[in-house]
Amino acid sequence: MTLLRIGEVPDDLVAPVLIVAFDGWVDAAGASSGAAEFLADGAARVVTFDDDILFDYRSRRPTLHIIDGTLHRLEWPELEIDHRTIDGRDLLILHGPEPDFRWRQLADAIGEFCVRIGVLQWISLGAIPAAVAHTRPVPILANASRDGLLHEAESKGPPGLLRVPSAALSSIELPIAEMGIPTVGFYAQVPHYIGGPYAAASASLLRHLGRHLGVDLDVAALEDEAAAQRQRLDAAVAADDDVREILARLEQTADEIPSGDELAAEIERFLRGQAD
């Protein structure tokens, strides 16, 4: 059974990295999948997958387009790997909906692909809801498969044991790391009251990614979108006394540095609630 189909991958890749984000679990406000789609815009598709095997179409139904009463076309959920070069560095972006099935086989197939083309590092992008304020910079949590992979400015955490329901992202990342390919992950903390796309978090993830890789990622369009969204959020807060009070408490909390155990407990409580 072939889960992926490799197309035209350049044979002269320079220090290739695989950047991965799935739309679904651990993608609060679509921040990480939005970052991946922004990064993949205009890139060349080099790998496709057997989506019929990976997705449950009853839980992730294709979109049907009907024009003037005639069934026109279907948009199916698709997983893909795209390629682009930035500042002489080759980036491969694995993105799409979180797969429903065959996570272990998918990890094996992606691992074989990484070895075949010489991927130097796997980078996960994710986002989690948190008790943070939209008036403050988006916090980023990081993880790494071993010490020394993160820069000094990239904080690894939370410390201690954290038991949470796994995303497909992590279930694939772990076997990749066990194969000897270094892995890191960046996870944006999104204000829990944000219901739709949150450009500020997508931009923050991409800025961290750019610094980590030493490449210049132009996120000006996302920053403009984030500024416009900030104005709308500020206006909504100003019109509601209760919301202003909540925001003030969140800002006060941001000024107090929580312990690692407190961060871990907060994330664990949220994910357990989502599982229920």
pLDDT tens profile 80-105: 999 999 999 999 999 999 999 999 99
Give the phi and the psi of residue 145 in degrees, each rounded to 5: -75, -15
Q: Where are the domains of the chain?
A: 4-275
**Residues with Cβ within 8 Å of residue 112, at least 6 apart in sequence:** none
Give the confidence band of 256 by pLDDT, cuts at 50, 70, 90: low
Q: Predicted confidence band at 269 (pLDDT cuts at 50, 70, 90)?
A: low
- What distances in angstroms separate CA 11 from CA 8, 112, 168, 176, one per listed residue? 9, 16, 29, 22
The arithmetic mean of pLDDT across residues 12-32, rounded, is: 93
pLDDT of residue 101: 95
pLDDT at 89: 92
- Which residues partner with 130 through β-bridges? 191
pLDDT band of residue 267 (cuts 50, 70, 90) is low
Rounded CA gap, 170 and 67, in Å? 40
Is 70 exceeded by the pLDDT of residue 259? Answer: no
The share of the chain scoring above pLDDT 70, in percent, equals 89
For 4-275, which CATH superfamily applies? PAC-like subunit (3.40.50.10900)
Q: Give the helix/strand (H/E) hosting 65.
A: strand 63-67
Q: Which residues contact 276 (CB under 8 A, 6 or more apart)?
A: none
Mean pLDDT of the 29-53 span: 95
Say whether pLDDT at 274 is over 70.
Answer: no
Report which of residues 271 and 121 the model is more confident about.
Answer: 121
